[in-house]
Amino acid sequence: MTDRPVETDPGDLAAVAAYDERFAAFVAELNRLHIEYGAPSYGEICGAAQVFKLPKAGITDLLTGKRLPSMSFLLEFVRVVSNPLPVDGRTPRGHKAHPELIEHWRRRWVELKALNRQVQSPLGRLRNAGKQLVEEAERAAAEKAGAAEEQARQIRSRAEAEAAAVLEEARRQAAHLVEEAEARAESVRAEAERARAEAIRVAVARSAEADRLLRTAREEAEAVRRAAQTEAQEIVDEGRRVSRLRTPAALRELREAAERITGTHLPELLRTITTDRLPEQGGSLTLPSVGLHGRDDVGRLARCFDTLHHGLATLAAEQALRFDTTNTVFTTLSRRTAGLVQRQLSLLDELERSEPEQEQLDGLFELDHLATRMRRNCENMLILAGEESGRRWKRPVPLVDVFRAAAGEVDQYQRIDIAAVPEIEVVGAAVTDLVHLLAELLENAASYSHPGTTVQVTARALPDGQVMVGVLDEGIGIAFDEVVALNDRLAHPAPVDLSVSRRTGLFVVGRLAGRHGVRVWLTPAETGGVIASVVLPAELVEAEGPA
């Protein structure tokens, strides 16, 4: 049975095209209005909205023509954009209405909405036509698949018949070969039996000769043993006499060699092992010996010391190798977790763009913030393992955007107050690490200060091209001795050990600062709290170019 071919009504296509053209003109005119009144940023528009909330995602959909907004959304957008921006940059936008402009856009919306309702029926018919085309294509594919399956069955039947014939021929040849092999095996067994009988005869004759030679050897060995015992007793008596004479000098030599190994070589070897310069797998450690190899008590003591020295060094190398293996597993798991968190952030971003309800959108923003903090924790684990995060920036980023990104990764981000920031950009290669470094300092400042206070972030350019960044909290402060110890850890990050778990943030700051030549130190503030100072080298910053 042949179905009638699916046809589309040219009138439906024309109606949909007309609506698309009118909607494109509507969006283009909105963008011209936005540019005509100074192209205010999405953040300014959101902040100035009062009658109806204007989220950034909704503004993006409006200006890109993703969907037709509600009339309230459109008229609030027109009212906000058509009011002038204040001079000081902080006062909310004015609320002057433009009746002729508002009425113009109200009429445009009503016309477009009516046209949208009219085009729903043509759209439905076009969708049905497309569905029918898909169903016809599926039926044709099913028919071709059935024909191909039948052809495959025929080929398989012929192949099975040919295989059965080949198998029967192989079985016949195998039976013939088995008969020949059994005949050869019988001949070999007879020859082996004759050889075994001859071997037994020769073995009996050789056994008698061996017994005679063994008796003779035992008699000679006994005579040699008695002579050696007498000579050994004489050597022992002489050795004891000599040992009494050389023991003090040998002990002094043993003590000097032991002090040299334990005071110089063993610490250097342990430093070499703990800094990942291990011998290749299957290789051996090069260890010096005390150098005393006598058979007296001093010599035995020296050999015991050599054994203990080698055992300690081998144990340290094995522990370092285990740590390196654990570190590799730790890094792999951290990268997998970071990849999952990044996928979660991408999914949340898509959901935020398509969510029209403000209450749901606020919940998505909160999940986005939590996922961002999870990503920073994953990157902390990578830094502890000596690795780098996968995020990279190719172009310079304004310093104020770096501050905002760092604040966005902090739990109490509402308390962060960013003061005036010079127009300076950070080179792309250092952006991710600098955001991470500042986020750790902001997290510490917010965690160790009262929730009702703010954490201030300031920046100023120095005459030599460097940039000084300050993070000030209003907490209880830190004792002077502890500040000195913390600054030493920031300047000289120690290897990872159990103490890192109590100061993970400052350890990460020290690692990141050392990676880019950034200087970080803490000082008590005069009004209480702590000031974290960060100096960015001149090679990491550059003057901000024209927009």
Q: How confident is the model over 356-366, as pLDDT tens digits? A: 777 777 777 67
Structure tokens at 102: 């508002």
What pLDDT band is residue 245 in, cutting at 50, 70 and 90? very low
What pLDDT band is residue 500 in, cutting at 50, 70 and 90? low
| Averaged pLDDT for residues 157-175 | 81
Asked if residue 85 lies in contact with residue 93, where contact means CB atoms within 8 angstroms, the answer is: yes
Asked if residue 488 lies in contact with residue 507, where contact means CB atoms within 8 angstroms, the answer is: no
pLDDT at 248 over 60: yes
- Is this model's pTM higher than 0.75 or not? no
Q: Specify the DSSP class assigned to residue 119.
A: T
What pLDDT band is residue 510 in, cutting at 50, 70 and 90? confident
- Give, in degrees to the nearest 5, the angle at Cα 137 between 135 and 143: 105
Q: Hey, is 354 helix, strand or coil?
A: helix
Asked if residue 412 lies in contact with residue 443, where contact means CB atoms within 8 angstroms, the answer is: no
Residue 457: per-residue pLDDT? 94
Asked if residue 477 lies in contact with residue 530, where contact means CB atoms within 8 angstroms, the answer is: yes
User: Which whole-number Å values give the CA distances from 269 to 23, 185, 259, 324, in the listed order?
Assistant: 76, 65, 15, 17
Residue 91: per-residue pLDDT? 45
What pLDDT band is residue 545 in, cutting at 50, 70 and 90? low
Which of 111-125, 219-233, 250-264, 392-406 holds the top average pLDDT?
392-406
pLDDT at 232 over 80: no
What pLDDT band is residue 442 in, cutting at 50, 70 and 90? very high
Residue-wise pLDDT tens digits, 123-134: 888 878 778 888
Helix (H) or strand (E) holding 536: strand 530-536
- Give CA–CA dist 249/354, Å, rounded: 89
Tokens 């597993």 appear where? 329
- Region of poorest pLDDT, from 1-15, 329-343, 479-493: 329-343
- Give CA–CA dist 360/479, Å, rounded: 46
Residue 465: per-residue pLDDT? 93
Residue-wise pLDDT tens digits, 405-430: 999 888 888 899 998 889 999 999 89
Architecture of the domain defined by 392-543? 2-Layer Sandwich (3.30)
267 or 394, higher pLDDT = 394
Q: What percent of the chain has pLDDT over 90?
A: 14
Domain extents in the chain: 10-118, 276-390, 392-543
- Region of poorest pLDDT, from 151-155, 173-177, 239-243, 481-485: 239-243
Asked if residue 532 lies in contact with residue 471, where contact means CB atoms within 8 angstroms, the answer is: yes
- Give CA–CA dist 543/490, Å, rounded: 28
Residue-wise pLDDT tens digits, 518-542: 999 999 988 788 999 999 999 999 8
What pLDDT band is residue 458 in, cutting at 50, 70 and 90? very high
Residue 339: per-residue pLDDT? 66
